[in-house]
Structure 1
Amino acid sequence: MLIVLSGPSGVGKGTVRQAMMADSFKDFKYSVSMTTRTPRPGEKDGVDYYFRTKEQFQQHIADGEMLEWARYVNNFYGTPLGPVNKTLDEGQDVLLEIEVNGAMQVREKCPDGVFIFLTPPDLQELKQRIEKRGTDDAATILKRMEKARNEIKMMENYDYAVVNDKVDLAVKRIESIITSEHNRVPRVIDRYRKMIGVK
């Protein structure tokens, strides 16, 4: 099962994903993204990102090897299709933590995925989280907030909305969604058809 976690910038997608990875539930594999940006200190190829040149990345796009991709601040970011398909073929869930536009690309290619939109408790809380980062000036924060409003409008394209009021509670909500999705009849019916000899 493909699980897509996304939401507006500053909502805490990375923090929630890291908490999910540390949780004992962890019945999935995190999909490592690909980027053309240079590695930061301590980052390892194939662990934090697949680091590629712009030429290599563009060749992957041309060859249809990217599940989704985007260009951001003169660098490419995206999800390579090969590792995702390999993990799914091995019978393991795959978790993607991606931006809203990337999620819409995945939605087109994998409509049977589970799409989860992480939301802030309210816009004021989102603004405070962005301000706490201390990386943006006032004008940039205003732009981020406007973008967040537009991204929240896209929630209607998702299957679930999960409020990230407290990280541990958000993780529990997401884990309950994953458990429920595994028990949906369309996902299990083939197993039972085989059991009773029906094609």
Structure 2
Amino acid sequence: MSSCMTKLFVRALFDYDPMEDTTIPCKDAAVAFKRGDVLQIVSREDDTWWQACHLGDGSSRAGLIPSKQLHERRVALQRPRALFKPQLINTAVFPVTEDVDYGSITGIHIAGLRRSFRLGRKGSRTRKTAQLRRWSSEVHGAISPLTYIEVVLYHKEPKDRPRLIVLIGPSGVGVNELKRRLVISDPDRYGVCVPYTTREKRKQEREGVDYHFVSVQAFEELILNHRFVEYGQYRGSYYGSNLDSVQRVMAEGKVCLLDVHPSKIKHVYNSEFKPYVVFVKPPRIEELRLTRRRAKFVCDEDIKQVRMFSEEDFEDIIDQAEMLDSQYGHLFDTVIVNGDIAVAFRELKAVLEKMDESEDQWVPASWMRSTPTKAWRSCSSLTGWI
């Protein structure tokens, strides 16, 4: 298969260990892989077992992997268990001025670093866990189990806009602090979008800096026109992250840093934004306790409520991270463990700078088919999820 016309590459969206598979015809003839690995499909002639090899595998040895159909059947057999899960509930949201993190950087104000809204921190861990479970299967409207997604190499040309950077992480892990440090480190390169709100502007606030202040009618028209990545209500006012704000940052040639609820990635997961998704993961709970021991956070913008982390907060962060990883891990392009904020910042900045060096990157093939360009290489007739 020396011709591009015969090559098909996919990213695996689940882990597979043939040593644990009792149905594989020959364990030695199988290929193990982890979620996120890029595989070259050599043959799909068999409905049960495909042949594939790891990308860049020096041995170029092809082996057996479960077909899409086989994996879907296996998952379907496990679905009855989901019928016994407790009923899930909706979540209240409210704005915050700080993402827990490590406190503000004294004396420096950066426009748009306020989240449009966040999940409330009030309530029991049981309720929070139930709230997290309702996030499943929203991205892409997927009903079928995750198997493989066709990918192609994307080569960034000088004229191309920077890819959108989507940061995901549980509340308290340090997403906002990483955004802040990136913008301060190079304000000409990094930018954040300014949220929209319908509440009254306060004396010290500036239009287009702290928020875009709009009427309720204007906000609801934007909702009807699907212009929000995410939005919610708090104390009778709307708050939301608008697609126009994201586009303004990108139109300036800057890398837009977007921090959104994970189920809302679907609104930007397309060829227009080509998002690069970073999962900010907490360290082990022992290190989490040590690094956040003296950290404070503002949990209500209006009454300026400030408090320290509790043991329950630490456990919530770990639980939320595990839930995010299990339900949305197939979308993550990279994972940054934020134990030491300085180390995590250096790692994240290095990853983003490497992207800017026009290094080829694997992206969903459907993105490139919708915007044909010489910057991509794929000759398969398949579309997206396979």
If the TM-score is normalised by the length of the shorter chain, which range does it land in?
A: 0.7 to 0.9
When the two chains are superposed, the root-mean-square deviation of aligned CA atoms in Å is: 3.7
**1:108-147 matched pairs, under 5 angstroms:** 112-123=274-285, 129=292, 132-133=296-297, 134-135=306-307, 141=313, 144-145=316-317, 146-147=319-320
- Matched position secondary structure for 2:205: coil
**Counterpart in 1 of 2:343?**
169
Q: Equivalents in 2 of 1:150, 1:41: separation in Å?
A: 40
Q: Is this contact kept in 2: 1:65–1:81, CA < 8 A?
A: yes
What amino acid is aligned across from residue 64 of structure 1 in structure 2? Answer: H
- Decide which of 55, 63, 72 is 2:217's aligned counterpart: 55
**Counterpart in 2 of 1:158?**
332
* Bigger RCO of structures 1 and 2 (CA < 8 A, at least 6 apart): 1
Q: Equivalents in 1 of 2:334, 2:323: separation in Å?
A: 18
**Counterpart in 2 of 1:70?**
231
**Counterpart in 1 of 2:177?**
15
Alpha-carbon distance, 1:73 to partner? 4.0
**1:82-101 matched pairs, under 5 angstroms:** 82-101=244-263
- Matched position secondary structure for 2:269: helix
- Matched position secondary structure for 1:107: coil
Alpha-carbon distance, 1:41 to partner? 6.5
Q: Equivalents in 1 of 2:361, 2:279: separation in Å?
A: 22
What amino acid is aligned across from residue 230 of structure 2 in structure 1? Answer: W
Identity rate, percent: 23
**Counterpart in 2 of 1:181?**
355
What amino acid is aligned across from residue 214 of structure 2 in structure 1? Answer: R
Higher helix residue share: 1
- Matched position secondary structure for 1:96: strand
Alpha-carbon distance, 1:14 to partner? 1.3
Q: Deviations over 1:119-170 (max 9, x none)?
A: 11134655784984354997x8499555454234323321111111122222
Task: Give the TM-score taking structure 1 as reference length.
Answer: 0.73
Query: Which protein shows a greater Rg?
Result: 2
Q: Is this contact kept in 1: 2:230–2:260, CA < 8 A?
A: no
Q: Is this contact kept in 2: 1:7–1:152, CA < 8 A?
A: no
Q: Equivalents in 2 of 1:17, 1:49: separation in Å?
A: 17
| CA 123–102 in structure 1, closer or farther in 2 if over 3 Å, else same | farther
**Counterpart in 2 of 1:194?**
none
Q: Equivalents in 1 of 2:315, 2:208: separation in Å?
A: 32
Query: Does 176-185 or 21-30 show the bigger shift?
Result: 21-30
